[in-house]
Amino acid sequence: MNYPNGAKKVLVKQGMTETADAFSNRGMTLEEDINTTNKYYLDLDKAIVHKKPTPVQIVKVNYPKRSAAVITEAYFKQASTTDYNGVYRGRHIDFEAKETKNKTLFPLANIHDHQIKHMESVIKHGGICFLIIRFAAYNETFFMPAEKLFSYWNDKQKGGKKSIPYNVIKESGYSIPFQYQARIDYLAIIDKLYF
């Protein structure tokens, strides 16, 4: 795919955060790692997990004769759910992936209220829901059960801190080791926590 004029960077902005300045321009890396991992899981028939397409509001489409329809005006939309979901060992799994270049905290501005509501619902209905958080500065990636996120979110909504400290994530989350094939082997953590 050809992304002229820095389009790639904007895709990262739209797909992963509203406050792009706070985030690494290595932002695609986590997404690429997860996509690679999901493909590996799929090839091994271990789990069926896909990233949802980027939601786009289509306004104008042209129909050149003898060729495919061209979308000529469209806008990025905010996602109403999380980015990834699928099925593993009979369970519905659902997660969001976020990368920050902040060294001391994970800013909650990158998560939307309706995404939190979605996560709460998924858990209530028996799904497994979590965040994959990468601290780019340390190249460390953590598995954070969504349940552990909610109290920080509620604090923020009541005017409290707008972030989760790095140390809290390091202590209450689970480090995901970087591997060659299953680059972000989050199923290994799910095996331990939920089965």
- Name the binding residues for Mg(2+): 81, 83, 96, 115
Q: Which of 44, 70, 109, 193 binds a second copy (CB under 8 A)?
A: 70
Of residues 5, 64, 66, 171, which one binds a second copy by CB under 8 A?
A: 5
**Residue 64 touches a second copy, criterion: CB under 8 A:** no
Give Cβ neighbours of residue 192 (< 8 Å, ≥ 6 apart).
174
Q: Does residue 116 interact with a second copy by CB under 8 A?
A: no
Report the residue number, 66 or 158, with the smaller CB distance to a second copy: 66
Phi, psi of 139 (to 5 degrees): 50, 40
| 137 or 147: CB nearest a second copy | 147
Q: How many residues bind to a second copy according to rule CB under 8 A?
A: 55
Q: Binding of a second copy at residue 55 (CB under 8 A)?
A: yes
- Give the Cα separation of 98 and 131 in Å (integer): 7
Q: Characterize the bridge pairing of strands 70-76 and 56-62.
A: antiparallel
Out of 6, 160, 165, 177, which residue is the one contacting a second copy (CB under 8 A)? 6
Task: Give yes or no for residue 92 binding a second copy (CB under 8 A).
Answer: yes
C-alpha to C-alpha distance for 22 and 102, rounded to whole angstroms: 7
Separation of alpha carbons 61 and 79, rounded Å: 22
For residue 151, the surrounding DSSP H or E stretch is helix 146-157
Which range, of 58-66, 100-108, 142-150, 178-186, touches a second copy by CB under 8 A? 58-66
Q: Are 133 and 106 in contact (CB under 8 A)?
A: yes
